Copies of this chain bind each other. A is one copy, B any other.
Amino acid sequence: MAEPAMDMNSAAGGRRGRSGGGGAARRAARSAVSLETAKFIERNIPNLEVLNEEALAIIETNAETVLAEIGVNFADNPAALERWRDAGAEIEGERVRIPRGLARQLCATAPSAFTQHARNPARNVDIGGRNLVLAPVYGPPFVRSASGGRRYATMEDFRNFVKLGYMSKWLHHSGGTVCEPTDVAVNKRHLDMLHAHMTLSDKPYMGSVTEPVRAEDSVEMSKLLFGADFVDQNTVMTSLININSPLTFDSTMMGALEVYARAGQACIISPFIVGGAMAPTTVAGTLTQVLAEVLAGVAYSQLVRPGAPVIMGAFVTSIDMNSGAPTFGTPEAALITYGAGQLARRLGLPYRSGGSFCGSKLPDAQAAYEAANSLNMAMLAGVNFMLHSCGWLEGGLVSSYEKFVMDADQLGALHHIAKGVDMSENGQAMDALREVGPGGHFLGCAHTQANFKDAFWRSDLLDYKPFETWDEEGARDTQTLASLRVTKMLGDYQQPSLDPAVNEALADYVARRKDSEPDAFG
């Protein structure tokens, strides 16, 4: 297997400088602490399964009925209709009716797990199986910070969020559109976004999907970063293909999917559902639609290129029937997320769902309740790839600086829950129980001394101090603590090293492509 064309020696970052220089080495050693990145989560606890065998069979049968009798639309995409016709589907206008069993059969060539490579191999992620890979918020046009309030996102914000993601220990993935940089032309911003992920972080990233040509740019830039041969032979991007629920596949998203599938790059194929609006109000009805849509979308990816890596997605919220607003962290969404995980595992596909979802406008208690509900649910639902795992605010309209670090801190707890219960002799701790006995205390015993450093997950953000200390220090709430942490992290940030030739090639590509067409906005 070819190695990516870059300097991998300095995984811990540090600015380029005289190698072996004492000051630089000390700076690198200091920075190495804050640049620790946890390995993706490998679960040692079971998934929660809310559907029994009978319920699963009913939903699977109903999904086949949807595909065979109702069908799905592939809009403005004659080539897709042709592929479906050749595969045995019935075509009527843009409607594709898929005979029972055909979609599932086509899905069988999709791998059940795959590795997404990062330019720093220590950051590679294995997506599938019992693993969970965490990626940040995706898509918001606004940002919010404690000091700056709510405003349109800029490219500077984008770079800041990539830096925060790079420095967040529990985040395995740099993500994609961490916010929408509205100050750059809509037909060019993908170039700056990719460039930021490639140069400001060494974690894996996502490609552009807003036009097929932007997906092609993503592949080309990845070839500059990893080497063309490496990209031909390996997955270096996982990109987000949303389905226009209900049951519609538009040509823009399908065009991007086609580019990535042909290039052997991974896509999340994901219904985007506000229950009650884009799907029925019921859990079982929504699961039926989710499965039908994923079956059609994944089958299509395999028609484009058998074996192309894909993830079954399920982005599901419910609607507030009073205001029409989407709601997050709700029990109905939880049941759908648990059930969709079971369907994904039966289909043999990696599963994407969950996130730091909330409807709150502020990183307050509402935001935290809703996000914690969703994060815990995603962990227990067997999610393999969690987009939006930190930073989501206001129904996805806002990337929040403070909530980014608040959620990212909570992701540490998920890592520790996933470990399950250590049943080794040390884990059983009978020595400690014998040593201490009735009425004693364990703080000083040998077992505690040997174990206390790694025994408990510890927040890097939340306040555990006694009331009096906390009060003397200014009685700060979580948002205030998070704001300080954002400032500290951005101040401490050091760019990971990159081969200057690669750096230059990427900058040239971005400049050349930007010059090739006029700016477009809107």
Contact = CB atoms under 8 A, between A and B. Distances in A.
A276 interface: yes
B455 A332 contact: yes
Contacts of A275: 455-456
Interface string A77-109: 000000000000000000100000000000000
A360 B463 contact: yes
B332 A430 contact: no
A368 B477 CA distance: 12
B467 A361 contact: yes
Contacts of A323: 464-466
A179 interface: no
Interface stretch (A22-30, A43-51, A192-200, A255-263): A43-51
A365 interface: yes
A429 interface: yes
A280 interface: yes
A322 interface: yes
A80 to B, nearest CB: 14
A396 to B, nearest CB: 12
Contacts of A55: 421, 423
A456 B320 contact: yes
A385 B316 CA distance: 31
A71 interface: yes
Contacts of A330: 413, 416, 456-457
A319 interface: yes
B361 A475 contact: yes
Contacts of A334: 417
Interface in A321-365: 321-323, 325, 327, 329-332, 334-335, 339, 359-365
Given A46-B48, A429-B281, A478-B365, A246 B436 contact: yes
Contacts of A318: 455-456
A443 B325 CA distance: 12
B65 A430 contact: yes
Nearest to A55: B423
Contacts of A452: 276, 281, 321
A452 B327 CA distance: 14
A297 B54 CA distance: 42
A281 B451 contact: yes
A282 B428 contact: yes
Contacts of A394: 467
A371 interface: yes
Given A372-B373, A457-B330, A478 B360 contact: yes
A91 to B, nearest CB: 13
Point out which of A278, A319, A417, A434 has the most chain B C-beta atoms below 10 A from its C-beta.
A417
B371 A335 contact: no
Interface string A453-464: 101111100111
A289 B433 contact: yes
Point out which of A49, A322, A433, A447 has the most chain B C-beta atoms below 10 A from its C-beta.
A433
A365 B434 contact: no
A421 B367 contact: no
Interface in A199-232: none
Contact of A288 (B397, B413, B429, B451): B429
Contact of A359 (B65, B410, B433, B464): B464
A34 to B, nearest CB: 18
Interface string A415-450: 111011111001111101110111111110001100
A443 B320 contact: no
Contacts of A186: none
Nearest to A421: B283
Contacts of A434: 69-70
A438 B72 contact: yes
A247 B278 CA distance: 56
Contacts of A440: 246
Given A413-B330, A421-B283, A478-B360, A455 B276 contact: yes
A58 interface: yes
A200 B276 CA distance: 40
A477 B362 contact: yes
A427 B322 CA distance: 21
6 contacts: A58-B428, A70-B433, A150-B467, A281-B451, A284-B423, A365-B482
Interface of A: 45-46, 48-51, 54-55, 58-59, 62, 65-66, 69-73, 95, 150, 244, 246-248, 275-289, 318-323, 325, 327, 329-332, 334-335, 339, 359-373, 376-377, 380, 394, 397, 403, 406, 410, 413-417, 419-423, 426-430, 432-434, 436-443, 447-448, 451-453, 455-459, 462-467, 470-471, 475, 477-479, 482
5 A-B pairs with least C-beta separation: A285-B429, A372-B372, A368-B368, A331-B416, A280-B429
